[in-house]
Structure 1
Amino acid sequence: MKVSRLLLDALETFPNFVIIDKNAKIVYLNDSYANLLGISQEHAIGQPVVDIIPGTRMAEILKTGKPEIGHLMTLYDHTKQQDITIACNRMPIYRDGQLIGAAAVTIMQDVVHTVSQLNTELSAVRKENEYYKHELNMLRNQFDSLNRIVGHSTALTEIKQTISDYTASNLPILITGETGVGKELFARAIHELSPRKLNPYVKINCAAIPAELLESELFGYEAGAFSGASKTGKPGKFELANQGTLLLDEIGEMPLTLQSKLLRVLQEQEIERVGGVKTIQINVRIICCTNQNLQQLIREKKFRSDLYYRINTVELKIPPLRDRKEDIPELTEHFIQKYNNEHDTHVVGANTDVLQLFQTYQWPGNVRELEHIVERLCTINQNQIITPKSCGFLIDQISNTQQFLGNKIADSEPLLAKSEPAHTATSVPASEMSWNDLAQKIQTTEREAIIQALLQTNGNKAKAARLLNIDRSSLYYKLKKYNITK
């Protein structure tokens, strides 16, 4: 059986390649196989294959005439001086329908090592897959805007449902609430859940721009419209938000002259640039935010009633944090995770005494204030759980402002007023106080305040909750917690 030089060179590229004739004698054995067997190629040629390759089944191929694919066999590797398991293919060779020999080639060298390596690589792929699945879930949550609004209180759940009900519409929405409740977060959620989510989301703070510049910021201006104007003109926020959503933050600060022009834009869906003479058609959904009482501004002739009713088609009243304190633990955990990621800290969480302390505070700065306090606590407690020992500044703040449980109870005492002389806030610095004693005093004072409120309202829980400036669900929780049965 003669083989051309080119073919022989090609066969040398295969791992462990061997050819036998119909008498099961080796016709060709490539160099890699000879090295593995610890013999020379010349020695192998003409020898029975079973004498050269221990355990081979090539003679069986001559008997059956059928190929064997992926068969495992163990050989002693003289190059590594150890047994290895290889996987090989054995194929019969036919000419004119007659079986004239067989060939075999290794398809996997050292199966055990290869499988182990594959398992290692597979584990790495699985780990990477889990990472990307986690990242995908994070991205899904990121784009699921309602999930970014943290909390499951009744009030918040109702607001989320209202958002879901109206996101598909083009109705103007008015978002009201105190400073720091997160009104802009709700506005963005409305846009991202609406059919306009792929179009621009533009926002402007009406209180942050001088009145004389606000008009050009909103409606744009033509070239040379006023001194210092761009030579090419400039589009306003309405044009930039075309086909999308425009957030008018602090709408209560808008001058009356602009309120009139805004009303016309909402009715006609067209604008004119400052210094321009032609109208520009727009398609913009308006969301307005304010922390002011617009109805009071109407009575004071500071806000147009017709504009109020035009932007107030749907109103979202975002409750202050003090009215949804059941959301505080979830918000705290959310902010801890946020600042762990941002500052590379590893804060485990906040213990129950800290969460109880948070429940006693009225949070005049709302969610924003809670976020800033958690960020400060994460900085102090980089690799541990947050405890009351780190909260001296907040305890002093509660005591100094007398906002513990609200200040609507006339005779309500400051946080530490009933402490023993050795532990009073005036005689001992916060850093030297017994934190366990403090937590107990907080709970004692809270229990006494609830009992006092119930006595003043003759046991009327709804009135007592209003007197304490907390919602009824929080009051029922505390009644059960302190075993108050009145």
Structure 2
Amino acid sequence: MSKRRITLSELKINQSYIQQIAEVIAAVIEFEVVIIDSNLEVIAGTGKYQSEIGFVYGKECITEQIIHKGCNFVLDDEPIKHQICKDCSQKSICQLKAAILSPIMLNEKVIGTISIFAFSEAEKTQLLDNRGKLEDFLSKLAALTSSKIDVNEMNIRLSIMANQFSAVINSIVEGIIAIDHKGYITHMNKSAEKLLNITKQMSGQHINEIFPEFSVPKVLKFGQQYAEQEIRYKNKDEQCHFISTITPIQKDQQIIGLVISFRSIGEMRKLAGRIIREDRKYSLDGILGTSKAMTTLKQKMQLVAATDSTILITGESGTGKELFARAIHEESHRKNGPFVAINCGAIPENLLESELFGYEEGAFTGASRGGKPGKFELANGGTIFLDEIGDMPMHLQVKLLRVLQEVKIERIGGVKPVWIDVRIIAATNCNLEEMIEKKEFRSDLFYRLSVIPFYIPPLRERKEDLILLLHHFLDKYNLILGKQITGFTQEVQRKMLAYPWQGNVRELENAVEYAVNIATSNVIDSSFLSNRVNDYFKQNPGLTTGEAPLTLAELEKSAIEGALKKFGNTRQAKEKAAESLGMSRSTFYRKIKELGLNAKIPKAK
């Protein structure tokens, strides 16, 4: 006998119960009993076999043959004389006189054997004289053993499924409450407890203790799903509003309970704001701006988006360089491929090369097993956006130049090139030509990158777009924060136009978000502007008192007239015009009325 590495069997998992069966059999029939699993490991035993529990027999043993054949077997002679034992290496020293072996079946598969053995002539005579009864006894015990294991396995599977189901329910951000047909709570997930600020156990409580207005009989009577129903909850002094979905639980066409899922209206507003933002921003048409500079820029980008030429986007911080890069990708034939962005200035110099080009296993201490692909490989078939390209170290500029020339990369520690199909869009807020003169940037790389150069003008050079952006961000944060602010005072708009916006669109958005957060009235005045903006005008008095080249009303009127002229006068056309200006439909219609444009709207083409 020898030990070998084996996997855990069904009998091994239930070893304690199996040992009890072996001891019961031995006590009833007065023979030594051994139970062996399909790995040929002794799982349970009595007498001499109790000391052998854990040992594994060789494949030439009788048990292996019984497991293979799947039927009862009676050994009625000494092993040295029996054909079934001819290949056993232990047969010359085996003291066995006779045996009965019965397979244990589970789902039509042999998972082991129950065996009784005789080691003397008297035991042999007794065993063989009662072989029929003993065979039947062992077969029934084998069946009983397998049924017990089957039940245990089912219980284990049900327990695992219940744990998995509980984990899934508790991972959902929506609050979920299950009630029975009388309205008593049977289950509540973690999100529900958090949304309702409940710390005590609510199982067994009635749903009306949480939602007093909820009518259980009414919902049960109609037996249909209710979606987007508003429900209210009062927690101490706070009144909470939720949007809920109510789903009946049916059994045999009878409603036995309900599942109520709900989410706070405030969170849904935030989600809607994010969806609107994501839906708009990744297309050239979705980038707000009707100034001549922005219109011309978007038209040129539209033309080159279909090509694979390398693009260099320059502009100050906050002008939206990555936004334009993503829009170009979405307008290109590579739009179904990946868009991979990497900030060359945000990654330590010693890690940047491995991030860009990847590495092979064992390339350096701490390298992941199997290696790791770099950003260029991950972007294969799509676009790679190299932001802050001016911060790239000189030695990596050489390697990037080689990638541009040869259209292939080499991993760190690699010996074979990896061919890539990637469009490169680079961006920087640095003056690369000045850096070239200072020997801080390679001129050959600059000319390779700037095949198609684009400059995004700062916000202070396109003030025509500022009012549109103001209203867009106001609508956005009204939705997210649940506010109903209608606009800005004339003083605020004059300040916004005069302020230099060094952080450009990003700074403008932050300023509007701040103002909407702290506003206590339905119009934003100067008291709701950030200290940065107000302090600027304290240090520069008189900046907003002079006459502007165009009034605010004229700027808005010009933009709205241009949008109506472009899209037309139908309802759908007006919706498109509002979208192009970054306004909500209601704001757009209100502005048309305020500016007296109803009579001047051009006919649809």
Identity rate, percent: 50
CA shift for structure 1 position 325: 1.1
* CA displacement 1:26-52 (0-9 Å, x = unmatched): xxxxxxxxxxxxxxxxxxxxxxxxxxx
Answering whether residue 286 of structure 2 is matched by residue 148 of structure 1, we say: yes
Shift of 1:351: 2.8
Residue 286 of structure 1 is matched in structure 2 by 424
Q: 1:397 aligns with which of 535, 544, 563?
A: 535
Which of the numbers 195, 200, 203 marks the counterpart of 2:338?
200
Q: Check the 8 A contact 2:526/2:534 in 1, yes or no.
A: no
Return the offset for 1:395. 4.8
> What residue is the counterpart of 2:505 in the other structure?
367
Q: Superposed, which structure 2 residues align to 1:75-90 within 5 Å?
A: none
1:337 partnered with 2:475? yes
| Contact map agreement 2:495 2:544 (CA 8 A) in 1 | no
Aligned to 1:352: 490
How many equivalent residue pairs? 284
Question: Structure 1 stretches of 5 or more lacking a match?
Answer: 1-123, 125-133, 403-413, 417-441, 448-473, 482-486
What whole-Å deviation, never above 9, does each CA across 1:408-455 have from its counterpart, x for those lacking one?
xxxxxx216xxxxxxxxxxxxxxxxxxxxxxxxx543x24xxxxxxxx
Aligned partner of 1:253 in structure 2 is 391
Deviation at 1:348, TM superposition (A): 1.9
Q: Mark the CA change 1:305 to 1:477 in structure 2 (over 3 Å): closer, same or farther.
A: farther
One-letter code aligned to 2:414: G
Deviation at 1:339, TM superposition (A): 1.6
Partner Cα separation in structure 2 for residue 301 and residue 193 of structure 1 = 36
How far did residue 393 of structure 1 move? 2.2
Partner residue in 1 for 2:324: 186
| Alpha-carbon distance, 1:333 to partner | 1.0
Amino acid at match of 2:353: E
Q: Deviations over 1:274-307 (max 9, x none)?
A: 0000011100000001000000010011111111
After superposition, give the CA deviation of every residue in 1:360-390 in whole Å (9 maximum; x if it has no partner).
1111111111111000001012661212232
Q: Is the 8 A contact 1:242 1:284 kept in 2?
A: yes
User: Residues 265 and 199 from structure 1, CA distance in 2 versus in 1: closer, same or farther, beyond 3 angstroms?
Assistant: same
Structure 1 residue aligned with 2:311: 173
C-alpha separation between the residues in 1 aligned to 2:344 and 2:385? 10
Q: Would the aligned equivalents of 2:383 and 2:424 in 1 still touch at CA under 8 Å?
A: yes
Q: 1:376 aligns with which of 487, 495, 514?
A: 514
Q: 1-side partners of 2:367 and 2:330: how far apart?
A: 34
The AA in structure 1 aligned to 2:329 is H
**8 Å CA contact retained: 2:335, 2:382:** yes
Q: CA deviation at 1:396?
A: 3.1
Structure 2 residue 553 is matched with structure 1 residue 415: no
Q: Is the 8 A contact 2:312 2:426 kept in 1?
A: yes
Q: Deviations over 1:79-120 (max 9, x none)?
A: xxxxxxxxxxxxxxxxxxxxxxxxxxxxxxxxxxxxxxxxxx
- Give the secondary structure class of the aligned counterpart of 2:340: strand
* CA deviation after TM superposition for structure 1 residue 143, in Å: 7.3
The aligned counterpart of 2:379 is: 241
2:213 paired residue number: none
Structure 2 vs 1, CA of residues 398 and 138 (structure 1 numbering), >3 Å: closer, same or farther? closer
**Aligned letter for 1:285?**
R
Matched with 2:221 is: none
Q: In 2, distance between residues paired with 1:384 and 1:322?
A: 27
The residue aligned with 1:437 is: none
CA drift of 1:477 comes to 6.3
Match of residue 310 from structure 1: 448
Partner of residue 327 from structure 1, selected from 465, 470, 473:
465
- TM-align CA RMSD: 2.7
Separation in structure 1 between the aligned mates of residue 415 and residue 433 of structure 2, nearest angstrom: 35
CA contact 1:346–1:383 (8 Å) conserved in 2 = no
- Equivalence for 1:228: 366
How far has the Cα of 1:140 moved from its partner? 11
Distance 2:392 2:294 in 1: 28
SS at match of 1:225: coil
Kept in 2, the 8 Å contact 1:201–1:246? The answer is: yes
Q: State the one-letter code of the partner of 1:344.
A: G
Using the alignment, how far apart are the partners of 1:306 and 1:384 within structure 2? Answer: 56
Give, as a single letter, the amino acid of the residue that structure 2 aligns with 1:307. Answer: L
1:348–1:383 CA contact under 8 A, matched in 2: no
User: Structure 1 pair 165/220, CA: closer, same or farther in 2 (3 Å)?
Assistant: same
* Distance change in 2, residues 1:384/1:198 (3 Å): same
Change beyond 3 A, Cα 1:194–1:373:
same
- The TM-score with structure 1 as length reference comes to 0.55
Instruction: For residue 346 of structure 1, report the CA deviation from its aligned partner.
Output: 2.4
> How far off its partner does 1:326 sit?
1.2
What is the TM-score with the length of structure 2 in the denominator?
0.44
Deviation for aligned residue 1:309: 0.4
Q: Which amino acid aligns with 2:487?
A: G
CA contact (8 A) 2:282 2:323 kept: no
2: distance between equivalents of 1:378 and 1:167?
A: 37
Residue of structure 2 aligned with 1:266, choices 404, 427, 431 = 404
**Equivalence for 2:65:** none
Residue 160 of structure 1 aligns to a residue in which SS? helix
Distance in structure 2 (CA, Å) of the matches to 1:192 and 1:375: 28
The answer to whether the 8 A contact 1:171-1:313 is kept is: yes
Match for residue 302 of structure 2?
164
Query: After superposition, where does 1:11-50 map in structure 2 within 5 Å?
Result: none
Amino acid at match of 1:229: A
For residues 227 and 376 of structure 1, the distance between their equivalents in structure 2, rounded to whole angstroms, comes to 47
**1:152, 1:327 within 8 Å by CA — same for their partners in 2?**
yes
* Residues in 2 aligned to 1:352 and 1:222: alpha-carbon distance in whole angstroms: 61
| Counterpart-to-counterpart distance in 2, 1:259 and 1:328 | 37
Change (3 A) 1:140 1:205: closer
Per the alignment, residue 56 of structure 1 pairs with none
Q: Which amino acid aligns with 1:239?
A: E
Q: Distance in 2 between matches of 1:378 and 1:190?
A: 32
Task: Output the CA distance in 2 between the equivalents of 1:189 and 1:258.
Answer: 27
Find the aligned partners of 1:366 and 1:394 in 2 and give their Cα distance.
Answer: 14
Q: Is the 8 A contact 1:219 1:273 kept in 2?
A: yes
- Take 1:295 and 1:139, find their aligned partners in 2: how far apart are those partners? 35
Task: Go from structure 1 to structure 2 and tell me whether the alpha carbon gap of 1:147 and 1:172 turns closer, same or farther (over 3 Å shift).
Answer: same
| 2:347 is aligned with 1:209 | yes
* Paired residue type of 1:349: G
